Chain A
């Protein structure tokens, strides 16, 4: 059997859903961010796979992947800064305990 576009899309879908599971069920904010990283990786696999199978010869998909990696880095930096700030203020990194605005 030849490895085709669908194979990559399936792996990416599974990775996406694992990330989604992490985001939905984790209590720790850092763990949620890790789930988001998995989701972004899944998206990147899609970009690069479409690049190869749908528009070979150009590198637009890879450019997109690079931009997504950049954004992932920025997201991690800002998101983790928020976690640090929350931990300093509220002494917890668990999202269900950060409920000051719920009142």
Chain B
């Protein structure tokens, strides 16, 4: 009987988390449109509701009424599975993200022992969805976009993993709650100076690339590949890809906060939960800012950055933190 209650609790939590992701994705899309407008001296959405706030609802309702088109030559089964994989992989990331602390309870779905490893593993599942989605469309642009996207995402998974390991070394644990608690004295970004900071920078760059955002948005490059692996997707399937992508963006930012910026910790009067969201949305803002500031990389520059710069830097970082831990403690 106990098991059934737990399953019910898990299902309820899942619905809550999914709703949270959906709403925060809407907020991020709105923020992205407003901020990009602001940076380009435009106005952005403003007709639906005050300051265009209801635009999100209007968009959702519109998308729900769009027809799901499957190209004649596509592989129907794979074509419809791919967006589900991307969305669910993003959802699974959220299991290990601790949002804050109320009294003595940490607000987290489950504090899994191998938390950060779990996070990296689930994030790596996204590649499969994107690759097969691009292939199943049977469109040259889509396939090219899917292959490029996969090459890019796997390249940046290595630096991402290396900076996660820096954190694991400093905290001596893989559990996300343990990592936040190990930063009580000093955030990891400031520990083992300058290596903690470097690890943070590597993580941010790699997570921007993992979420296929500018300046790493070659797979979608609308001017060359007409949105790459997404070009044959319409209506709700397309939105599932978007949901996965923005969900991953928020998840990666939240993970960066958890691993480097002390998670929910912060000065007293502001509650921990609020601190967490302030920090995370600050990072999301930085990513949006970068998107509307920099042009796109070329694919050779992108791969060079990963393999010839971030990977060596990541390895040196690990050795540096190791030496620091041995010599200075």
**Do A and B touch each other in the complex, judged by CB within 8 A?**
no
Q: Which residues of A contact B (CB under 8 A)?
A: none
